[in-house]
Amino acid sequence: MPSKCTSSWSWKKILLLIVGLFISLVIIVAACIVIYTRTQNQLETKSWKGKGTSKYLKEIIIGRCYNYLTINPAIGEKDCYGIWEEFAKAVYQKKPCNITEENYRHLTELAGQTIPCHKSLLWSKTNYLVHRYTKATQDFLTLENTLLGYLADGLSWCGKSHSSGMNFQSCPDWNECDNNSVSSFWKMASAAFARASCGVVNIMLNGSAYGGVTRNESILRTIEIPNLNPRTVSEVRIWVMNDLNDHNRNSCNSESLMELKHYIEEHNLTSSCVNNYRPAQLLQCIENPEHAACNLCTKNIKRSIPQKYS
């Protein structure tokens, strides 16, 4: 008959064996999770064609927010840290190609502002000129001149589906998938800007661009124009700006512009068009003052000089 001591020792060995097996199982599971997570992260960082999240993104967003509020105190108080948290929440632990406009809705509300009537300036293929113009005159606002657009202008970002934080290695390119972090943001922001616009809304287009003044899939056509409210927008004025050093491929009477005007009017909006809006063209003349289009006075002077002096 075995002694009680021997029996007790056997149970201890069994208990130790069970504990050891449990600990080993926990270690194995934890190791598998770590390996799986690393593998998924590596797959994510290697699979995208676009550049990764901008370095110091959090600091840039918060810094830009405070800077904008300092320069534009009229828009009121904004929670810059709260805006960053909503920005991050939209993409954290989500697949970079599964970010919809809805993910940014609360962010759009937090950073929203009133757009004065007659001040909205939309654009397509004129990024450089349109922002030189708004900076020089301060008469109009593009989306990038609002708080929401200013925060993200020129930046790239995306999260990682299997962990918190941003992916600094690579992100989907704009056209790599429909619902990527950056394109969904700009679609939501563009729709909000268009809905907030009122009075006369101006659009600056590139008359020297190949392939017409706008692409059918452009944000201007697919997002901004459809979101202009005919009850609050009195007119859409198009400025067709030609590059002084290039050919004039499009004008107010060209097929591309006539088609765009028809598209605008299909949305119950009134439209008009002007070739080479003079105040904006004068900015082009700063870089090319000898161009014939920059000669401000010659024709008028000849007409106004009395005949006895001519």
Which one from 97, 158, 198, 273 is the annotated catalytic residue? 198
Q: Which of 230, 235, 216, 234 is nearest to 274 (CA)?
A: 235
DSSP sequence for 93-142: TS-TT---GGGGHHHHHHT--PPPTT-BEEEES-HHHHHHHHHHH-S-B-
Q: Assess whether 117 carries a catalytic annotation.
A: yes
Q: How many CA atoms lie within 13 A of 137 on its CB side?
A: 18
Phi first, then psi: what are they for 111, rounded to 5°? -100, 10
CA angle 155, 156, 159 (to 5 degrees): 135
Which one from 32, 117, 177, 285 is the annotated catalytic residue? 117
Give the largest CA-CA distance in the chain.
143
Record the tokens describing residue 115, joined without a space: 């757009």
CA angle 173, 175, 179 (to 5 degrees): 90
DSSP sequence for 277-310: -HHHHHHHHHH-TTSGGG--SHHHHHHHS-GGG-
Phi first, then psi: what are they for 50, rounded to 5°? -85, 165
DSSP bridge partners of 241? 206
**Separation of CA 51 from chain center:** 15
Separation CA 26–CA 44 (nearest Å): 27
- For the annotated catalytic residues, the residue numbers are 117, 198
